[in-house]
């Protein structure tokens, strides 16, 4: 496991903390502030529109200030969609917006256009603040798979303290869905039998990603807590979990992981307005 230390300042953590992640985490369980919602049993999938921007190392502070301007505009105009921001250890900023269909992306852009019409000067200032602060941007869609996600009972309601996120990313060989589903079913059954307490979510790349790709994600109040909880999880799961994991790796063409922090100052959630 990686040894991680976070600063007391959340912004310092976003901007400067570098965590060496050597832990290969796999579990078909589920969680994460990326959804900012408790699990919805009646739904099998939830789509997310994601903007992934690579921030220039020398422009992190400027990007942060520009992001605050964006969040302020959304708040001022009571934007109907949440925009949640996550800053990764390798200088990506992931903006996540839950959607019901691809048509919602057009609706979001229309709503942004209305902000530009109503506050042209503020919008221009925000655009200028972002100029030159990031190297590239990618637009993509992910699907949260409720079937292969599990939220531990004590984590069913979101926590304001869940700021640290660990992404475990698997790129699979094409055409192996049936084999992988059997493996996932095995791991789910084992996790349920062992009453595993650490929560994970499964996000499948749908559009704009190197498919087939799976982002599994877990969160905790900080990095140290995550690694402690993860070690306890693997201890409870035992050697059987290791055997199932090794079966899965036969179908993996590439594996990587990322750490990230939820950035409250850059995020906007209409259902969580401060009174």
Q: Give phi and psi for 132, each to the nearest 5.
A: 80, 5
Q: What is the mean pLDDT of residues 252-260?
A: 96
DSSP letter (8 states) at residue 167: E
One of 3.40.710.10, 3.10.20.520, 3.30.70.100, 3.40.50.720 is the CATH number of 10-268, namely 3.30.70.100
Measured CA to CA, the distance from residue 131 to residue 65 in angstroms comes to 12
Average pLDDT over residues 244-265: 96
pLDDT digits (tens, 9 = 90+) for 31-55: 343 333 334 445 688 999 999 999 9
- Total-model pTM: 0.79
Query: Does residue 246 carry a pLDDT above 70?
Result: yes
Dig out the tokens for 205 from the structure. Answer: 């790349």
Distance CA 24, CA 94 (A): 22
Q: Categorize the per-residue pLDDT at 273 as very low, low, confident or very high, splitting at 50, 70 and 90.
A: low
Kindly report, residue by residue over 14-29, the tens digit of the pLDDT. Answer: 333 322 222 223 332 2
Overall average pLDDT of the 228-240 stretch:
93
Q: With beta carbons less than 8 A apart as the criterion, state whether 147 and 28 touch.
A: no
Closest C-alpha to 214, from 262, 273, 274, 173: 173
């Amino acid at each position: 496991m990686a040894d991680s230390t976070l600063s007391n300042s959340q912004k310092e953590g976003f901007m400067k903390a570098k965590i060496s992640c050597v832990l290969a985490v796999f579990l078909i369980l589920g969680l994460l502030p990326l959804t900012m919602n408790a699990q919805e049993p009646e739904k099998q999938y939830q789509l997310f529109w994601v903007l992934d921007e690579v921030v220039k190392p020398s422009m992190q502070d400027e990007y942060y200030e520009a992001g605050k301007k964006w969040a302020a505009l959304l708040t001022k105009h009571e934007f109907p969609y949440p925009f949640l921001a996550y800053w990764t250890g390798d200088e990506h900023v992931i903006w996540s917006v839950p959607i019901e269909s691809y048509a919602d992306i057009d609706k979001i852009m229309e709503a942004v256009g209305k902000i530009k019409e109503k506050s042209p000067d503020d919008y221009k200032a925000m655009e200028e603040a972002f100029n030159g602060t990031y190297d590239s941007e990618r637009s993509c869609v992910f699907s949260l798979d409720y079937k292969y996600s599990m939220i531990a009972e004590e984590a069913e309601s979101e926590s304001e303290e869940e700021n640290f996120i660990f992404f475990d990313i698997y790129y699979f060989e094409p055409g192996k869905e049936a084999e992988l589903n059997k493996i996932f079913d095995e791991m789910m059954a084992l996790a349920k039998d062992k009453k595993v307490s650490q929560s994970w979510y499964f996000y499948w790349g749908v559009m704009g990603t190197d498919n087939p790709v799976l982002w599994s994600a877990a969160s905790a109040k900080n990095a140290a807590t995550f690694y402690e909880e993860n070690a306890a999880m693997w201890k409870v799961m035992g050697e059987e979990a290791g055997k199932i994991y090794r079966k899965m790796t036969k179908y993996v063409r590439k594996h990587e992981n990322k750490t990230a922090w939820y950035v409250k100052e850059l995020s906007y959630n209409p259902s969580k307005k401060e009174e």
